[in-house]
Structure formats: structure tokens, C-alpha cells
Structure 1
Amino acid sequence: MTLGASTIVTEELTPIVGGLAASQGELGLKRVMISIALGGWIATTLLYLLGAWRGRWVRRRWPKVGRYMKRALRAVRRRPWRSALAVRFAFGARLLLPLACGAAHLPMWLYFIGSAVSSIVWAVLFTEVGYLFGEAAVTALRRMEHYDQYVAAVLIGIGVVALLIYRQRRQRRRQQSRATDRTAGALGS
């Protein structure tokens, strides 16, 4: 149930981690999918209800959100069914689109069905990605078991080189800053 509750905050990470856990036998795959779909649907439904109840207040309270919400409202009014279906897939607008659907007074039945379909498809898709990735990662780790010390040496080497480059650039910026300060001081005298 924790996976479902965290879906609105962690987005794609939740079903992928749930799928990883299912591939390792820690959780049941169907339970993960159902929990994530239900959690995402409940969260977007609450946002819809907030938009229907206090949509204008949200736009006035947070003017920056209001600008984006006006655009979302236009999209919802043009294509209500597509908007309800896009709720879980609208990257960057997953909080805003349900609010806009509520503020546009999209029929509740239409929104509930569209967002439920969206939540189910999204949960199944990303949980499967996590499940398949989990199996592939375990297989790759088993094959890499004999080479782990080489991988660690390469990673440490890359880290050292990155640190040296960072220090060199920082030192160069300081020298340029000092030279600029000297030039400005000489011109000001």
C-alpha cells in the first residue's frame, strides 16, 4: 500500500521499484500493479475534486500555476476525453491536469473512467519495465561478478579525473576573477 500512496510524489520510480521487488520475489507483481494503479487514481481523483471545488482559488493563490492552468483548461475544454486519459501520462503536468479537469467541470463520470484507464495502463506499463529491468540487471550482475574489481577501479579512476578537472576549472575561474578585479582596480585609479 505504501507504493500506491507514494505514486503521486515519486511518479515512475514507484512502479519501477515495485517491479524490481516483484522480479526478486519480494512482492507479488499483480499486487504491485493494483496498488500503484489504485494509489495513482486516488491521488488524481483528489486533485480533480480540489480543482472542481477550489480551482479559482488555486489560480489566484499561486499565479505562476494559474498561467499554466489556463493553458491546461483550454486543452481540457477542447478535448475532455483525451485530457482524462492523459492524466497519468502528462509528464510535467500530472498535478496540473487533474486540477484543470476539475476546474473545467469535466463530467465526473468521464474523468473517473478516463483517469482509471490511464492509471491502470500506466501502472502495468511501468511495473513491467521494472520487472523486466530487474531480471536483466540480476543476469548482468551475475555475469559481471568476476569483473567487479575492474569496474570499481575504472569508476574510481573516472571519479579522480573528474575531481582534477573540477579543481583545475575552479582555479582558472579564480585567476580570471583576480585578473578582472585588478583590471577594474587599475581603471578606477
Structure 2
Amino acid sequence: MATGTRRLSIETLIARYGLAAVFLGAGVEGETMVLAGGLFAHEGMLSLPGTVIAAAAGSFMADQALFAAGRRFRDHRLVTRAQAKPAFAKALRTLERYPIGFIFAFRFLYGLRTVSPVAIGTSHVPFRTFVGINALAAITWAVLFTSLGYVFGTGVAELFGRYRPHGRQWLWVGLAALVLGLVFGAFRWWRSRKIG
């Protein structure tokens, strides 16, 4: 029941506020809002490129704000309290071992999404390094989850049955497959380095 109510409220927000809801939701809610935005784009209620841009911008801005908070308030009691938590320590350990890969991948890692930009902000990672990789990761994340919502939002049966992408839709489907392949390849590389 709670899931249905939550889903309905997300759909209502997007129906009422459009791309602004996707922008805010990408930074606060995350994947659920972006997947829903992709579904709305599939239904023709939102522009697909606009949804990708709103999702990427919202995710990017939220993570930049968290990074800035970690950098500015690294000695504040709330940040020092967060540093005592296992997820924060895990984020810093992984960042030390794989700085570039971790900055790119943290938004894809369950349980580390919110704490990671704050942890990176408390580290010695330069601002310019974080902003560049964060921008690339936000675009990749937005393309992936918007496209997944666009392609799979109406169900697997429709995908393999009635739904046939046409025109520029093939570009988005291909781009989503490419991004998914890159993310999967990067994850396998990261796992092999971690095991080895």
C-alpha cells in the first residue's frame, strides 16, 4: 500500500510540475523520480531530452552542494558525527584506493549515494577534479535511468510485444544500452581490481 501511495505521489508531482519535479526529485528522491520521468517522456507528457537534462542537472547540483557542505563544514559536529558511521568510513577507504572511479560510481552504489559527496568534500580531492567527474557521472546516470524508465516503464510485455522504437527513439535506446554496458564494464573492472 505504501509503495502504491508513494508511486502515485511521484506521478502526481511530475504531472503537476513537469521537469521541475524531475530536477528536484533527481537530487532528493533519486532513481525513482528519474525512472518516472522517463515513463512520462514515453507517454509524451515530457520531452525526453528535457527529462535527461533536468535529471542530470538535479543530480549534479545536489552532489555539488553536498560536496561543498563537506568541504566547508568538515569540522562541524554533524560532519564529525557522520564520519564515525561505517558508510562514511567505507566511502573514504574506497575513495583512497580508487579516487576517480569512486567519484564516478558512488551514485550507483546503494547505501553510499548521499554520504559519499560529503565524504569526498572532507578529503583532499580538488574541487575541479570533483566537478568534472561529477558532471560526467550525473549525465551518465541521467541517461541510464531516464532511458530505463522510457523503455521499460510500461512493462516488459509492451517492450517485447507492441512497443517498437522508431526514429530518434532508437538513438535513446542505443545510448541507454551503451551507458549500461559502460557501467557494467566499469563495475567488473572495479571488482577485479578490488579482488586482485
4+ runs of 1 displaced by more than 2 Å? 55-65, 134-140
Residue 90 of structure 1 contacts residue 97 of structure 1 at CA under 8 Å; is this kept in 2? no
Q: Aligned partner of 1:77: which letter?
A: E
Deviation readout 1:99-127 (Å, 9 max, x if unpaired): 11110121111111111111101110111
1:129 to partner: Cα distance: 0.7
CA RMSD of aligned residues (A): 2.3
In structure 2, how many angstroms separate the alpha carbons of the residues matched to 1:34 and 1:15? 11
Count of aligned positions? 141
**What does residue 123 of structure 1 align with?**
142
Deviation readout 1:67-109 (Å, 9 max, x if unpaired): 4322322221222111211132122111111111110121111
Distance 1:76 1:50, change over 3 A: same
Percent of pairs with identical residues: 31
Question: What is the TM-score of this pair, normalised by structure 2?
Answer: 0.65
Identify unmatched segments of 5+ residues in structure 1. Answer: 144-189
Question: What is the TM-score of this pair, normalised by structure 1?
Answer: 0.67
**What does residue 165 of structure 1 align with?**
none
In structure 2, how many angstroms separate the alpha carbons of the residues matched to 1:73 and 1:62? 12
Q: Aligned partner of 2:139: which letter?
A: I
Residue 16 of structure 1 contacts residue 126 of structure 1 at CA under 8 Å; is this kept in 2? yes
Within 5 Å, give how 1:72-151 maps onto structure 2.
72-136=91-155, 139=158
SS at match of 1:109: helix
1:12 aligns with 2:36: no
In structure 2, how many angstroms separate the alpha carbons of the residues matched to 1:109 and 1:84? 12
Question: Which one has the largest radius of gyration?
Answer: 1
Q: Which has the higher helix share?
A: 1
Residue 77 of structure 1 contacts residue 104 of structure 1 at CA under 8 Å; is this kept in 2? no
